[in-house]
């Protein structure tokens, strides 16, 4: 399986509002699968999925937040606020 290609399609789906793609992107960033490990991005994608009442994503976001510093959490929340503006 080509994870990088799959992730490209997941991102396109998420950008078009397909909510099931958002936790998949969060997982990719949480684990560093096909992308660089990035807890800020993982938290943001899980948060977006959680806003659609995705319970699994909300649980994953909580787990990721425990791995993050306060500064990383602040950056993630700023990223979410910026995404909501667009």
The whole-angstrom separation of Cα 15 and Cα 8 is 11
pLDDT the model gives residue 60: 94
Beta-carbon contacts of 80 under 8 Å, excluding residues fewer than 6 positions away, are: 44, 47, 48
* Structural domains counted in the chain: 1
The percent of the chain in helix, strand and coil, each rounded to the nearest 5, is 75, 0, 25
pLDDT the model gives residue 69: 97
pLDDT at 85 over 80: no
Place of tokens 């958002």: 22
Domain that holds residue 48: 3-85
The whole-angstrom separation of Cα 43 and Cα 30 is 8
The per-residue pLDDT for range 48-83, each reduced to its tens digit, is 887 788 889 999 999 999 999 999 999 999 988 887
Model pTM? 0.87
The whole-angstrom separation of Cα 64 and Cα 42 is 7
């Amino acid at each position: 399986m080509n994870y990088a290609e799959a992730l490209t399609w997941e991102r396109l789906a998420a950008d078009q509002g397909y909510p099931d793609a958002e936790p998949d992107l969060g997982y990719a960033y949480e684990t560093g699968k096909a992308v660089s490990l990035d807890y800020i991005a993982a938290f943001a994608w899980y948060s977006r999925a959680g806003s659609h009442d995705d319970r699994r994503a909300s649980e994953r976001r909580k787990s990721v937040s425990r791995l993050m510093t306060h500064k990383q959490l602040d950056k993630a929340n700023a990223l979410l606020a910026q995404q909501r503006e667009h």
